[in-house]
Amino acid sequence: MNRIKQRPGEINLLFGGEAGQGLQTIAQILARMFMNGGLHVLAVSEFMSRIRGGSNSITLRAANQPVRAQDETIDICVLLDKDALPRLKGRCAPATLMIGDPKLFGPGSGMLPLPLNELGAQAGGTIYSNSIVCGAIACLVGWELPLLEAALAKVFSSPELLAKNLAAAKLGWDHGTEAAGHFDLPPQEKKAGQLLLDGSQAVAFGALAGGCTFIASYPMSPSTGVLIHLAKSAHSHGVVVEQAEDEISAINMGLGSWYAGGRALVSTSGGGFDLMAEGLSLAGAIESPMVIHLAQRPGPGTGLPTRTEQGDLEIARYSGHGEFPRAILAPGSPEEAFACAAHAFTMADASQSPVFLLTDQYLLDTLCDLEPFHLPDAAPEPRIVTTTKEYRRYAAGADGISPRGIPGLGEGIVRVDSDEHDEEGCITEDFDLRTAMVDKRLAKLRLLKEDLALAPRLYGTADYRRLIVGWGSTAPAVVEALERVRPASTAFLHCVQLYPLPQAVLDHLQQASKIIVIESNATGQFARLLRVETGCTITRQWNKYNGLAFTVDEVAALLQQEVNP
């Protein structure tokens, strides 16, 4: 067989099958194998909202260079069931090497045959198909078994299971020998300490780094992963974890925990967050810190539960009755997700306000390799005071901040009230006091906008006239497309803090003569926010809202069109 023309220094694999066939396991194993071989990896899942059946896929990109976005080129497509063919055919090119079981697709399919049924029976059951596939892929890229075996050892901890999977992988590898080295992607020296994590893990670990001690949430895709990962840390890191009866309870529990000295997080998605709006407003009224992980998926209603979108920026910005400060952070990578989650606790605690961590399904479910997170030197110190007898919860202070006491620490009484209240926290209907309390609460916004703000990141030339502006998970695709197309005097501004907008965002916008906003929603929610907050003129909007994230190729095509209309 001839070598297939691939993009130099990388390979793109596509796996299709039913839910329950183990696509996630294949991605885990192969990603770890490529990492063991010193490559960078990215695995993007695309799945239906069901437990078994359906037709799902995972794209795995491995390369010499760091890869953080999806490409549309597919070098190898492995079909685990019949339905995967019609579904994935459109994503494959004539050059794509298709692999399938002749029993499913017939002898004349033109595919590279991989008799999974037959080999599975030899290995001890169809459950071993995943390792057989991994063995075959290892052989195709010309890799020896030990790198794969190390990956299997990480994924399968039980010795018995590992032995069977090692044997299955060898069966696959042996079967692939006639097509060995079909692709040119030699292993390199392994990078020590490199991790393989998804966005949900990054958020959960970031929350722990921020001192999170409490999470109450109601399961809802794609936010559940964070709850699960914190549950795994409940023993080792002393975190109170509770599955609430609904999202209303979850956020009210979170507020109760902050009140009593905990550092609480809630993790939810669109419809679940809608139920939290009342609790969000309560956080504003009682000046409680709160960290809300809002994991976006396409709405309205139930929408596309397992897909991605950036359609909930405006509920993060505007939900909750009344006027009170808040902050919205939107990480674009696992590293940023970790840093933002940790920083969200600092911001919330220092400003006694709710802080949003706005992510999406694409960021949360995508696996990639990364260097160890930058951990703080010391644990963050909570901003809690020991109260005296004269303590007044809402005493006037600089930037509207009143020292925060908790019950049981000191001699004072800590009163918080959702009614308008006086400095002690007792109900008032005094109009002058009302005005003073609103002003006091709103004064806290300065801290979020200035002292605690996260700066945007500029990619490309500093001497730009055309500025592409994005937020959250769109960043990696834009960054790579920009490198690919290299349009003159063009830069990309990745905004991490969406509200309140840091001054640096305004400064960058002012330099541009042309502003293009890219986001995964239909109406341009961030573009609208930028106009409202800065009065800037937006030349063009690039929007995608079919439930999938932007790919590098798509953004590159948009850039090309922009440069050469």
Partner 1 sequence: MSENRYQRIGCDIAWCPGCGNYGIAKILGETLQELELDPQQTVLVSGIGQAAKLPQYFNLHYFNGLHGRALPPATAIKASNRSLTVLAESGDGDMYGEGGNHLLHCIRRNPDLTNIVHNNMVYGLTKGQASPTSPRGLVTPLQIDGVILEPFNPLAVAIALDASFVARAYVGHAEQTRAILKAAILHKGYALVDLLQPCVTFNKLNTYNWFEAHTSPLPADHDPFDRMQAFARACEDDPLRLGIFYQKEKPVFEDQLAAYVDDKRPLFERRVDVNKLAETIRAAG
Task: State which of positions 325-384 bind partner 1 (CB under 8 A).
Answer: 370, 372-373, 375-382, 384
Specify whether the CB–CB gap between 58 and 76 falls below 8 A: no
Task: Give the x-and-dash track for 271-290 against partner 1 (CB under 8 A).
Answer: -------xx--x---x----
Q: Which of residues 231-260 bind partner 1 (CB under 8 A)?
A: 233-242, 244-246, 248-250, 252-257, 259-260
| Minimum CB distance to partner 1, residue 549 (Å) | 23
How far apart are alpha carbons 102 and 108 in whole angstroms?
A: 8
If the CB atoms of residues 37 and 100 are measured against partner 1, the closer one turns out to be 37
| Minimum CB distance to partner 1, residue 224 (Å) | 17
| Minimum CB distance to partner 1, residue 251 (Å) | 8
Query: Look-up: residue for tokens 């573009």?
Result: 527
Angle at 491 between CA 489 and CA 494, to 5 degrees: 170
How far apart are alpha carbons 382 and 107 in whole angstroms?
A: 66
Q: Which of residues 18-77 bind partner 1 (CB under 8 A)?
A: none
How far apart are alpha carbons 101 and 445 in whole angstroms?
A: 60
Q: Which of residues 398-437 bind partner 1 (CB under 8 A)?
A: 406-411, 413-419, 425-427
If the CB atoms of residues 246 and 439 are measured against partner 1, the closer one turns out to be 246
If the CB atoms of residues 254 and 311 are measured against partner 1, the closer one turns out to be 254
Binding segment toward partner 1, per CB under 8 A, in 14-22, 59-67, 99-107, 201-209: 201-209
| Minimum CB distance to partner 1, residue 196 (Å) | 6
> Quick check: bond before 115 cis, omega within 30?
no
If the CB atoms of residues 393 and 440 are measured against partner 1, the closer one turns out to be 393
If the CB atoms of residues 342 and 467 are measured against partner 1, the closer one turns out to be 342
Binding segment toward partner 1, per CB under 8 A, in 84-92, 207-215, 353-361, 491-499: 207-215
If the CB atoms of residues 250 and 445 are measured against partner 1, the closer one turns out to be 250
The candidate with the shortest Cα–Cα distance to 71, out of 55, 60, 85, 57, is 60
How far apart are alpha carbons 339 and 329 in whole angstroms?
A: 10
How far apart are alpha carbons 402 and 407 in whole angstroms?
A: 16
- Indicate the burial class of 314 (C-beta count within 10 angstroms; 0-12, 13-18, 19 or more): middle
If the CB atoms of residues 260 and 538 are measured against partner 1, the closer one turns out to be 260
Q: Residue 26 CA to chain centroid, in angstroms? A: 21
- Beta strand 514-519 with 466-471 is parallel
- Please, which residues have CB within 8 angstroms of residue 542's CB and are 6 or more apart in sequence? 516, 517, 518, 519, 555, 558
| Minimum CB distance to partner 1, residue 462 (Å) | 34
If the CB atoms of residues 30 and 212 are measured against partner 1, the closer one turns out to be 212
Query: Look-up: residue for tokens 């976006």?
Result: 296
| Minimum CB distance to partner 1, residue 269 (Å) | 19
| Minimum CB distance to partner 1, residue 426 (Å) | 6
- Total residues binding partner 1 (CB under 8 A): 76
